[in-house]
């Protein structure tokens, strides 16, 4: 089957793009390497509140995803989850793109790349035995806050994720110690202030040296990186938030003009290849700001231009939804 548009990535950008493409009467397929919809919101911070999405003074990431999915699914886009897009071919005679994943190929007239920060994953601990505890006490993301209820928790890191989780889990965990290798935090000032007034024990200039335990995490050996003095903490869980690693991945070989790992786009969100659009974290243009709020506008812009690209008689402006959608 030939799609009007294949959307690579089912984060907020891809999901809103899918709604908009359906609204414009386009046949849509969403491809994502993850098995869940929602991108970073679903995988990296489902339980966190977001405060800067229009019309939501405060919304939990997983609830925003649920609403985006409801909105997108109205037009029944085809879903190909658990498939990583790898290769791209173009047939100039048919004017069709083929997107090859690790499972199959998808033929399409246009593409919206909404692949976010690319194939991303949390940075892992460099400790030899850390991998062995990944399902038994070492966490890199929080899927469910209940995993930490009444636990003695060690959080490693000094960025937004570490500080926000320390604040959010304060009333859930039995106790929290946060260690950070410096005395300056890469987190929002207000969050750091909140942390410092909370019951969390904050140890700056401290790093993790070893994890001990049998079937699961039982102790963590930490050390002061100035004096090298060690101490052993009795802990049930270790939450590691030391950043993420991402790469442009396969996009680097698609003859797209890139800025770092992001795709350079024009005012219509089109890349240097006709019919290939980008929006959200995977798009770059001067003064770009990577936020969910800006991504929604970019997706809307990209889809309306893709519609006009496929059918030049179709107007770019979609009309007002209040007029177009009845009932």
Q: How far is the CB of 311 from ligand FAD (least distance, A)?
A: 26
Per-residue binding string, ligand FAD, 207-246, x by CB under 6 A, is: ----------------------------------------
- Backbone torsions φ then ψ of 307, nearest 5 degrees: -60, -45
Place of tokens 């386009």: 26
Residue 41 or 242: the one with the smaller Cβ distance to ligand FAD is 41
Is residue 44 a contact residue for ligand FAD (CB under 6 A)? yes
Which of 58, 116, 83 minimizes the C-alpha distance to 299? 116
118 binds ligand FAD (CB under 6 A): yes
Q: Which residue stretch of 4-12, 213-221, 261-269, 312-320 sits at the interface with ligand FAD (rule: CB under 6 A)?
A: 4-12
- Residue 49 half-sphere exposure, CB side, CA atoms within 13 Å? 9
The count of other CB atoms within 10 Å of the CB of residue 292 is 22
**Binding of ligand FAD by 177 (CB under 6 A):** no
Cα-based angle 318, 24, 315 (whole degrees, multiple of 5):
40
From candidates 161, 177, 301, 304, binder to ligand FAD by CB under 6 A: 161
Residue 311 CB neighbours (<10 A): 14
Q: Which is nearer to ligand FAD, 254 or 309 (CB)?
A: 254
> How do strand 152-156 and strand 237-240 relate by DSSP bridges?
parallel
Q: Is 119 in the site for ligand FAD (CB under 6 A)?
A: yes
CB 127 within 8 A of CB 133: no
Among 28, 41, 173, 303, binds ligand FAD (CB under 6 A): 41
Q: What's the CA gap between 222 and 106, in Å, rounded?
A: 50
Give the residue, chosen from 3, 108, 110, 115, that forms a contact with ligand FAD under the rule CB under 6 A. 115
Q: At what angle do helices 189-196 and 160-169 cross, to 10 degrees?
A: 40
Please give the DSSP secondary-structure letter assigned to residue 248. Answer: -
Q: Which residue has the tokens 């049930």?
A: 236
- Per-residue mark of binding to ligand FAD, 286-305 (x: CB under 6 A): ----xxxx-x----------
Is 69 in contact with 37 (CB distance < 8 Å)? yes
Of the pair 8, 265, the CB lying nearest ligand FAD is at: 8
Q: Measured between alpha carbons, how far is 52 from 294 in angstroms, rounded to an integer?
A: 10
How far apart CA 73 and CA 148 sit, in angstroms, is 33
Q: Phi/psi at 264 (nearest 5 deg)?
A: -75, 130
Tell me if 33 contacts ligand FAD by CB under 6 A: yes
168 in contact with ligand FAD (CB under 6 A):
no
Residue 176 or 222: which CB sits closer to ligand FAD?
176
Identity of the residue, 230 or 266, whose beta carbon is nearer to ligand FAD in the bound complex:
266
Is 116 a residue that touches ligand FAD (CB under 6 A)? Answer: yes
Q: How far is the CB of 90 from ligand FAD (least distance, A)?
A: 17
Measured at CB, which residue is nearest to ligand FAD?
Answer: 116
The site for ligand FAD (CB under 6 A) is made up of 8-14, 31-34, 39-41, 44-45, 50, 52, 84-85, 114-119, 160-161, 249-250, 280-282, 290-293, 295
């Amino acid at each position: 089957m030939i799609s009007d548009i294949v959307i690579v990535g089912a984060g907020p950008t891809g999901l809103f793009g899918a709604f908009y493409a359906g609204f414009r009467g386009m046949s849509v397929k969403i491809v994502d390497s993850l098995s869940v919809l929602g991108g970073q919101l679903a995988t990296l911070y489902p339980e966190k509140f977001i405060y800067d999405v229009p019309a939501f003074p405060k919304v939990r990431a997983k609830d925003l995803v649920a609403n985006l999915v409801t909105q997108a699914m109205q037009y029944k886009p085809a879903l190909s989850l658990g498939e990583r897009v790898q290769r791209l071919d173009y047939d100039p005679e048919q004017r069709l793109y083929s997107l090859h994943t690790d499972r199959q190929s998808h033929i399409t007239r246009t593409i919206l790349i909404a692949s976010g920060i690319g194939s991303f994953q949390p940075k892992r601990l460099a400790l030899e035995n850390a991998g062995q505890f990944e399902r038994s006490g070492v966490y890199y993301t929080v899927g469910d806050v209940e995993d930490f209820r009444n636990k003695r928790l060690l959080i490693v890191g000094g960025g937004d994720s570490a500080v926000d989780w320390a604040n959010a889990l304060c009333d859930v965990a039995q106790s929290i110690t946060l260690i950070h290798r410096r005395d300056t935090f890469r987190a929002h000032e207000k969050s750091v202030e909140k942390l410092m007034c909370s019951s969390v024990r904050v140890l700056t200039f401290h790093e993790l040296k070893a994890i001990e335990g049998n079937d699961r995490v039982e102790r963590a050996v930490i050390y002061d990186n100035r004096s090298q003095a060690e101490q052993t903490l009795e802990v049930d869980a270790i939450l590691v938030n030391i950043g993420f690693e991402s790469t442009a991945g396969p996009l680097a070989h698609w003859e797209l003009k890139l800025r770092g790992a992001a795709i350079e786009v024009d005012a219509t969100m089109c890349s240097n290849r006709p019919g290939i659009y980008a929006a959200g974290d995977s798009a770059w243009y001067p003064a770009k700001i990577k936020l969910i709020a800006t991504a929604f506008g970019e997706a809307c812009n990209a889809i309306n231009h893709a519609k006009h690209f496929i059918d030049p008689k179709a107007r770019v402006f979609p009309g007002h939804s209040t007029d177009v959608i009845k009932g």
